[in-house]
C-alpha cells in the first residue's frame, strides 16, 4: 500500500531517488514518485522533496500557493552541502511551516556523489542511519 506520494519540487536526481528508497527500503511500494499531473492516491501522505537552497524554498512556496484543498503535505529537505542552509532559505522554510504537515531533513550525504543508484547508496552506513532517522520523523516517533 502506498504510504508516501513523493513530489520532487526541483526535479529528480540521486538524492530524491535515495529518499524514495529510504522511505521504502524493501521496495514494497510504500513510497513512490507521482508522475506530473497524477492525483494523490487516497490514503497516501503527500511529501514534497526539496534541497536546502533558496531556489528549493522558492519552489516549495510556489507549490504550496497552488496546493488547494488537498491534505497538507510533509516536506523533506535534502541538504545540498555539509553546512547549514543559508539564512534566506531557512527563513523561507520556517515561514512555510504552517502550510505543512511536518518537515524532515536528510543530512548531506557525500556518498551520493559516488554511487550509481539509490540501492547502492543504501549499502552505506551513513545513508542507513539517515534513513532510520527519516522514517522515525515521518512516522512521528
**For residue 65, what are the contacts with CB-CB under 8 A and spacing of at least 6?**
none
SS3 137: helix
CA–CA gap between residue 90 and residue 30 (Å, rounded): 29
Q: What is the pLDDT, as a whole number, of residue 141?
A: 65
- The pTM of this model reads 0.92
Q: What one-character DSSP code corresponds to residue 26?
A: T
Q: What is the pLDDT, as a whole number, of residue 42?
A: 92
CA–CA gap between residue 4 and residue 31 (Å, rounded): 5
pLDDT digits (tens, 9 = 90+) for 93-129: 999 999 999 999 999 999 999 999 999 999 999 999 9
pLDDT digits (tens, 9 = 90+) for 120-135: 999 999 999 999 999 9
pLDDT digits (tens, 9 = 90+) for 45-84: 999 999 999 999 999 999 999 998 889 999 999 999 999 9
Amino acid at each position: 500500500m502506498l504510504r508516501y506520494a513523493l513530489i520532487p519540487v526541483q526535479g529528480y536526481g540521486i538524492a530524491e531517488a535515495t529518499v524514495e528508497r529510504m522511505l521504502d527500503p524493501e521496495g514494497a511500494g510504500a513510497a513512490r514518485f507521482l508522475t506530473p499531473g497524477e492525483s494523490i492516491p487516497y490514503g497516501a501522505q503527500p511529501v514534497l522533496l526539496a534541497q536546502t537552497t533558496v531556489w528549493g524554498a522558492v519552489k516549495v512556496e510556489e507549490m504550496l500557493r497552488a496546493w488547494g484543498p488537498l491534505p497538507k503535505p510533509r516536506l523533506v529537505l535534502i541538504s545540498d552541502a555539509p553546512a547549514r542552509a543559508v539564512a534566506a532559505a531557512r527563513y523561507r522554510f520556517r515561514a512555510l511551516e504552517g502550510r505543512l504537515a511536518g518537515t524532515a531533513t536528510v543530512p548531506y550525504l557525500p556518498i551520493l556523489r559516488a554511487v550509481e543508484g539509490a540501492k547502492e547508496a543504501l549499502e552505506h552506513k551513513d545513508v542507513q542511519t539517515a534513513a532510520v532517522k527519516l522514517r522515525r520523523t515521518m512516522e512521528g516517533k
